[in-house]
Amino acid sequence: MRDTRPVQTKPGDPAGGIHVTFPYAQTLALLDHLVGFPTVSADSNLQLISFAEAQLRQAGFETRRIPDATGTKAGLLARSGPGTGGVMLSAHSDVVPVAGQQWTREPFRLVRDGGRLYGRGTTDMKGFLASMLSCAQRAGQKDLRKPLMLCISFDEEVGCTGIRQMLPAIRDLDWRPDLCIVGEPTGMRPAIGHKGKAAFSATCIGSSGHSALAPKYVNALHLAADVIGILRRIQDGYATGAQQDADYAISYSTVHVGRMQGGTALNIVPDRASLEFELRHLAGDSVSDFMERLDQDIQTTLAAWRRIEPAADIVVQITNRYPGLALLPDDLACRQVAAFCGEDRPIKVAYGTEAGYLSQLGIPTVVCGPGDMEAQGHKADEFVEVAQLAACDRMLDRVLDSLA
């Protein structure tokens, strides 16, 4: 029989209500709260941050809130325990939109159905966030000899922009943990690699006129089509090139065009068009090399068009980028996380994470968390399996044991 009630715990726990069988009912209670905050990236996350901060302070953590420039969002850093080193746990607070998706359940209400917990963000990645807040409460009952640190970010789903804003504050604190675990969904296996990403816009400038005389003008949509052709040739080069990594589902760097816009009416030659595209690259393929190749081919294309219209142009800009992650399987951080999660077969993931930024701070960083991004993340009726969340709690228990 399907249980469509919100997941709740015994009276006295934050969510109140009935008892549920689970290694740590507190984790379910926290997840119930977290899913209830509709922290879509376009909206504020301050209610969730205030809730998490109150939980952490109650557990004896020192906290530092890091607001964004608008004051409508914030990240949160927290620490408990003496000395240097220790472990940092990292999660983002934002989720992707539900608009346009066909949900059969309320997306911002946690529902248990058999062995699954449904709700937006359960997999990506409030399940891990709930588990790490639950771990923090258990840490408050232990005598730590090394510190436990928590990092809760914002705007990860729009290109890891929130953690980039938080980096100066993280540097200033100079915590220098021995290890960071970013809890994105990996099926509770240690992930030691993901590609870096750069996002671009291209503005194509042509000349306008009556479509009956179209060859006299430079159609900006044709310019945009030429750019797409260039990008497809670059993609073909990556697919057959020397830089390959079979540990990824797609073994080479990828180029993707996501949007193309232009034109006002069928009988008007458009003088302006735009493209949005991205590069997801292996460590051996640099963004600068990609841009150099792209610019060379664009200049060759423009030379022909400028015989018709000297002012014709294609302007390419980087709109966002984040670094990749690359660890060796025998790296100490990977071996530590493998011992914590009980899985010694590391993987690489297709999606990007904040791990690259944290790694650039000199913090050994591995991705490991509950859920399956490909099967469950960003989809209608998103869920995380109860068994995965329980395995995450057990992993964080081992982390605590290593600090106490």
pLDDT of residue 50: 98
Picking from 167, 197, 363, 345, the residue whose alpha carbon sits closest to that of residue 280 is: 197
So what's the architecture of 196-322 in CATH? 2-Layer Sandwich (3.30)
Q: State the Cα–Cα distance between residues 88 and 399, nearest whole angstrom.
A: 10
Instruction: Tell me the average pLDDT across 353-359.
Output: 97
- CA 167 from chain centre, in angstroms, equals 16
Per-residue pLDDT, averaged over 245-267, amounts to 97
Q: Which of 9-18, 176-185, 238-247, 304-313 has the lowest mean pLDDT?
A: 9-18
The answer, as to whether pTM is greater than 0.85, is yes
Residues of the chain with CATH 3.40.630.10: 25-192+325-403
By CB atoms closer than 10 A (0-12, 13-18, 19+), residue 141 is exposed
Cis peptide before 291 (omega within 30 of 0): no
Nearest CA-CA partner of 306 in 214, 217, 213: 217
Percent of the chain surpassing pLDDT 90: 92
Nearest to 291 by CA among 244, 236, 220, 231: 231
Rg of the chain taking only CA atoms, in angstroms: 24
Residues of the chain with CATH 3.30.70.360: 196-322
How far apart are alpha carbons 184 and 349 in whole angstroms? 10
Strand, coil or helix: 32: helix
What are residue 387's DSSP bridge partners?
A: none
* Section 96-113 average pLDDT: 96
Token pair 């966030």 is found at: 129
Which residues are within 8 A (CB) of 107 and not within 5 positions of it... i.e. 6 or more apart? 98, 101, 119, 120, 382
Alpha-carbon gap, residue 402 to 16, rounded angstroms:
31
Q: Alpha-carbon dihedral of residues 223, 227, 228, 233, nearest 10 degrees? A: 140
User: What's the number of CA atoms in the CB half-sphere (13 Å) around residue 295?
Assistant: 10
3-state helix, strand, coil in the chain (%, to 5): 35, 25, 40
| pLDDT confidence band for 323 (50 / 70 / 90) | very high
The CATH number corresponding to 25-192+325-403 among 3.40.630.10, 3.40.50.12660, 3.40.50.2000, 3.90.550.10 equals: 3.40.630.10
Q: How confident is the model at residue 251 (pLDDT cuts 50, 70, 90)?
A: very high
pLDDT band at 401 (very low <50, low <70, confident <90, very high): very high
* pLDDT score of 14: 37
Write down the pLDDT at residue 24: 85
State the average pLDDT over residues 245-257. Answer: 96
* pLDDT number for residue 2: 35
Exposure letters 239-263 (e unless 16+ CB within 10 A, then b): eeeeebbeebeeebbbbebeebebe
| Residue 398, helix vs strand vs coil | helix
- Mean pLDDT of the region 360-372: 97
pLDDT above 60 (res 6):
no
Task: Quote the CA–CA distance of 231 and 74 in Å, as a whole number.
Answer: 37
Answer yes or no: is pLDDT of 23 > 70: no
Which pLDDT does position 81 carry in this prediction? Answer: 96
